[in-house]
Chains A and B, each alone.
Chain A
Amino acid sequence: MLTIHRLVKRRGSRTILSGISFQARSGRVTGFLGPNGAGKSSTLRILLGLDSATSGEALINGVPYARLRNPLATVGALLDGSGAHRARTGRAHLNWIARSAGLPRSRVDEVLAIVGLTDAASQRVGSYSLGMGRRLGLAAALLGDPEVLILDEPVNGLDPEGIRWIRTLVRERAATGRTVLLSSHLMGELAETVDDVIVINQGRIVADGTLAEVIDGHGTLENAFFALTTPNGGRVAQ
């Protein structure tokens, strides 16, 4: 369970988040949508303890990230990029993460196999394609077999097979009672994957409900998204 409560983030005179609140519940996939600069990444970074909040709370199972005793077993996170130094091999990157949690090397081989990087494990990360970098980031997120997955644009750079694989992965995680928070720009993809939808725009939550509730009256998630986040409802000028 993820709880965001009256979260405020200011940078200088700019307000990034103006007191947002929402929850991502266990056993469900929650889609987190918003245009670029809406505050999605800031929210996720505060949730992961990377950025500090000006006020309010971001809690994982009731605890701020920095107080988690076994972070990798609790939360698996994928942010933009691979999160790895380009001069290291993929396996070396996962090895050091595994060591930080006392996980065996065999677990590194397991996650490399899960994301389909076994053959590329000895290559330097700098030689990876965008999609391989995302797979490496996912492998790191899955290392501790976490209760919660927080994935920012996970399908970026993945081929259709990879996109389907992610969809199956997150559905399986939710089916076993785990929590998944997923941000994406791909509305069609999200509509196929999520149970609940949070829409953020200009640092405020503009919709929060089940997929059916948010779509209600708009026909599709894409129509609902534009109606909620653009002044003219996303209509293209003729």
Chain B
Amino acid sequence: MSAEVARPHSREFVQALAAELSKLWSLPAVWLTLGGSLILNLVLAAAFVSAGLQDLTGTPNALDIGLASISYIQAGYIVLGIVASCSEYTGGQIRTTLTAMPRRSLQLIAAHLALMIVVVPAALITATSGVLLAAIALGDASAPVELGSTVGILAGVTGYLGLTTLISASFGVLLRRTLPAAIVVLGYYFIAGPLLREQTAHAKYLPDTAGLAMWFPQPGDASALSPVHGATVLVAWTLGAFVVALAVYRKRDT
């Protein structure tokens, strides 16, 4: 019978990834969150451009102004990661997931990879659209922006939003309910993180501040992390959160 024909692990993983992409594709909350973040980012970028044009103390820079909104719209990516994970616990879907894909490590890796496949292009489009809007609106009023550094910084923003989404998804797996997970992760990124940044120099190794170094370099601060160093620290946090979430997920009665 067909059940006795061994399915290679590689094909099992590709099929799990296809299933997880199909789940994200068919969940309206995913598109609402991504679309909402994109629109809100453009609205905020327009507001920052307007403020930049009125600021008489210096020459506005399209890159800085176009990305100023990322600190706010990262909330959308945090919510997206949490919603993607917590949606499993609505309507008993987790039981369908685990009966269809009983190897939990393989399934959770596929789910996180699917999330990256959706989030990376969305984050790149969001960040680029904000910068383009600022560049077009400022026109000649913008200070010159070097293409090489722009590409590097846009890659940094994209990586930061992608990894932050994955950390949020791991918290979603751990807490299973959207609201508590959102309170914990948003509370960290918008309240605890900024407070700690002011209190201690070690805060540069925390995920929000290390991630900030990926796209908001501080050339004047010798102790600040470089973009590559910041990315390394944030990847370590992301992997750490995933390993803890996976350890709990593998053992948990569902």
CB contacts (< 8 Å) of A99 on chain B: these are 15, 18-19, 22
Q: Mark B144-173, 1 if CB is under 8 A from A, else 0.
A: 000000000000000000000000000000
Pick 5 A–B contacts, CB within 8 A, sort by A. Answer: A49-B98, A71-B100, A74-B3, A81-B91, A96-B26
Contact residue among A50, A73, A82, A95 (Cβ-Cβ distance under 8 Å from B99)? A50
Least CB separation from B8: chain A residue: A69
Would you call A85 and B5 a contact (CB within 8 A)? no
Q: Mark B78-114, 1 if CB is under 8 A from A, else 0.
A: 0000000001001111011011111110000000000
A87 within 8 Å of B (CB atoms): yes
B16 within 8 Å of A (CB atoms): yes
Would you call A73 and B91 a contact (CB within 8 A)? no
A74 to B6, CA, bound (A): 12
Least CB separation from B104: chain A residue: A66
CB contacts (< 8 Å) of B19 on chain A: these are 96-97, 99-100
B2 within 8 Å of A (CB atoms): yes
A77 within 8 Å of B (CB atoms): yes
Least CB separation from A82: chain B residue: B91
Known: A50-B253, A51-B253. A95 touches B26 (CB 8 A): yes
A199 within 8 Å of B (CB atoms): no
CB contacts (< 8 Å) of B27 on chain A: these are 85, 87-88
Q: Mark B218-244, 1 if CB is under 8 A from A, else 0.
A: 000000000000000000000000000
A187 within 8 Å of B (CB atoms): no
Least CB separation from B26: chain A residue: A92
Interface residues of B, Cβ cutoff 8 Å to A: 1-7, 11-12, 15-16, 18-20, 22-23, 26-29, 87, 90-93, 95-96, 98-104, 251, 253-254
Known: A50-B254, A69-B7. A77 touches B99 (CB 8 A): yes
Would you call B102 and A65 a contact (CB within 8 A)? yes
Size band of the interface chain A makes with B: 35 or more
CB contacts (< 8 Å) of B7 on chain A: these are 69-70
Interface residues of A, Cβ cutoff 8 Å to B: 45, 48-52, 61, 65-66, 68-75, 77, 79-89, 92-93, 95-97, 99-102, 125, 140, 146-147
A61 to B1, CA, bound (A): 12
A51 to B4, CA, bound (A): 24
Centre residue among A79, A89, A102 by max chain B CB count within 10 A:
A102
- Since A52-B251, A77-B99, A79-B92 are in contact, a sample of 13 more A-B pairs with Cβ atoms closer than 8 Å, ordered by chain A residue number, is A45-B95, A73-B1, A74-B3, A79-B95, A82-B91, A83-B92, A84-B92, A93-B96, A100-B16, A100-B19, A101-B100, A102-B11, A146-B3
Would you call A71 and B22 a contact (CB within 8 A)? no
Would you call B103 and A66 a contact (CB within 8 A)? yes
Least CB separation from A50: chain B residue: B254
Would you call B100 and A72 a contact (CB within 8 A)? yes
Contact residue among B91, B104, B251 (Cβ-Cβ distance under 8 Å from A125)? B91
